[in-house]
Structure 1
Amino acid sequence: MTENILVTGGTGALGRHVVDRLGAAGHPARVLSRTRGSHIGNLGTGEGLTAALDGVGTVVHLASDPRDPSVDVEGTRRLVAAASPGTHLLYISIVGVEGHPYSYYRRKYEAERVVEESGLPYTVLRTTQFHNLVLFALETLAKAPVMPVPGGTRLQPVEVEEVAERLVELALGAPAGRVPDMGGPEIVSVAGLARTYLRVTGRRRPVVSLPLPGRVAAAFRGDAHLAPDHPDGRGTFADFVSATSGRSGYGSKAPGR
């Protein structure tokens, strides 16, 4: 048995799979969560971190909240300050966050810098958007009689369970710094993803691509969030929708990606 592993955000869409896979591999993990899990704690305030990190040799840092700026950057600083010297800190980030005008992406990049400058041995994995986030967005857009989507924007969605598989490999390995990005198997326009969603779920809506103004929309049209050289994922978005379309509200708790 290796040293204890702590997973922050271990009850989330990604965290649940990471915790399950670690357990299946013989490495049961502690779970840090604000509401449930083996250790109740709050990265925004620092509450519970000392107890959760006691005896921990590896931290898989997944906790994130696009609605709460205190979690990603200040929370990562608190986590670093509370961790013992030599703790392996594994951080999940997003492809293309450097120089991106989207405020949440800027915070993710700043958190990356906190990890890199922490003095702790670390690993950073960037991925593209998760399938369930894309599904959540499309479910929301499909509530209107006409389905509006951002024109000129492409995505490379990846299966969250495959990301969990990669994270477990990294958590059980040696610190590796910034590792290669991980993307889904296909790069598809948002309009194309919308049509896939409608086809697989048997719904009918006109899909209308709209040119969105502003720097954030322009950045997404520029494809910086894609990883064309790393189509590592196996499951496609159509596969995901087919497997989950019978589960009501599956995408209702999408991560901030």
Structure 2
Amino acid sequence: MTSILVTGGTGTLGSLLTDRLRNNGHEVRVLSRHAQPYAVDLRKGMGLDRLDAAVEGVDVIVHCATSPRGGDDTAAGHLLSAAQRAQVPHLVYISIVGVDRVPLGYYGAKRRVEQLIERAGDSGGPGWTVLRTTQFHDLVLRLVSGAARLPVLPLPSGVSVQPIDTGEVADRLAELAVGAPACRVEDMGGPEVRTLDDLAGAYLRAAGRRRRILPVRMAGKAYAGFRAGGHLTPERAVGKVTFERFLEHRPK
């Protein structure tokens, strides 16, 4: 049995990963802002005394906690300091395909976390494994369903995505967590590269709704990076669950 700490263990991905690890017989600790007994806000540095208790004696940390509002690199700094003090052997980090190619603020923070983990490993910190994946089906659903609240459905024009099932990512992280540190492993992409317009149409059909899709051309370097496909990995289309299958089986 392996002792594993999952940060962000109450989130969409973290909760699925936690269930899989426990079902496989591992001891799992969950760290998040409100999870007892390890309620820690890594971004704000609140509850750091509980962080030391959370990492003490674990074999692996799987770092899923993240926020698009910023502070991922600060959070990782707190976590890595505690992991080094406790001499944790292995840290697994979930990142995003394209963090080194798309100049989006959130992506830049994820890349800085990767670099912090690499440098910590080089200086006697945890051995590390980094997995980058494409966007989750859940994210695409939030985007298109939110836009569909309007009389027309506005979407960035010329952008394709390669959404992947969160459960498949949880399965892969569970494998990596019980393996040896592997540094940067192969990227993990969804089964299909599809335009946002196409995916929005699939959502509207599944929801029985009618909206006119309005492509909107946007400015900025990040948008240009998405238009260029910097967030895609078609050569690593290893996912099996399509967006339509996700829509069919998601809780209503």
Q: What TM-score comes out, normalization by structure 2 length?
A: 0.94
Task: Tell whether 2:46 aligns with 1:40.
Answer: no
Q: Match of 2:77, as an amino acid?
A: R
Is there any run of 5+ residues in structure 2 with no aligned partner, and where? none
Equivalences for 1:67-216 in 2 at 5 Å? 67=69, 69-70=70-71, 72-83=72-83, 84-119=86-121, 120-216=126-222
Task: Judge conservation of contact 1:201–1:242 (CA < 8 Å) in 2.
Answer: no
Counterparts of 1:99 and 1:224 in 2: how far apart (Å)?
5
Q: What TM-score comes out, normalization by structure 1 length?
A: 0.92
Task: Judge conservation of contact 1:200–1:242 (CA < 8 Å) in 2.
Answer: yes
Task: Judge conservation of contact 1:73–1:110 (CA < 8 Å) in 2.
Answer: yes
CA offset at residue 37 of structure 1? 4.2
- RMSD across aligned C-alpha pairs, in angstroms? 1.1
Equivalent residue of 2:144, what SS? helix
Partner of 2:25: 26
Counterparts of 2:13 and 2:64 in 1: how far apart (Å)?
8
Counterparts of 1:28 and 1:56 in 2: how far apart (Å)?
9
Change (3 A) 1:38 1:19: farther
Equivalent residue of 1:124, what SS? strand
Is there any run of 5+ residues in structure 1 with no aligned partner, and where? 248-257
CA offset at residue 38 of structure 1? 4.2
Task: Judge conservation of contact 2:6–2:28 (CA < 8 Å) in 1.
Answer: yes
Residues 150-203 of structure 1, C-alpha deviation per residue, up to 9 Å, x if partnerless? Answer: 110000000000000000000011110000000100000000000010111111
Q: Match of 1:236, as an amino acid?
A: T
- Specify which of 238, 243, 249 is matched with residue 249 of structure 2: 243
Task: Judge conservation of contact 2:32–2:39 (CA < 8 Å) in 1.
Answer: yes
Task: Judge conservation of contact 1:30–1:38 (CA < 8 Å) in 2.
Answer: no
Change (3 A) 1:38 1:237: farther
Q: Match of 1:240, as an amino acid?
A: F
Task: Judge conservation of contact 1:42–1:49 (CA < 8 Å) in 2.
Answer: no
% of aligned pairs identical?
A: 47
Count of equivalent residues:
243
Change (3 A) 1:112 1:161: same
Counterparts of 2:187 and 2:229 in 1: how far apart (Å)?
14
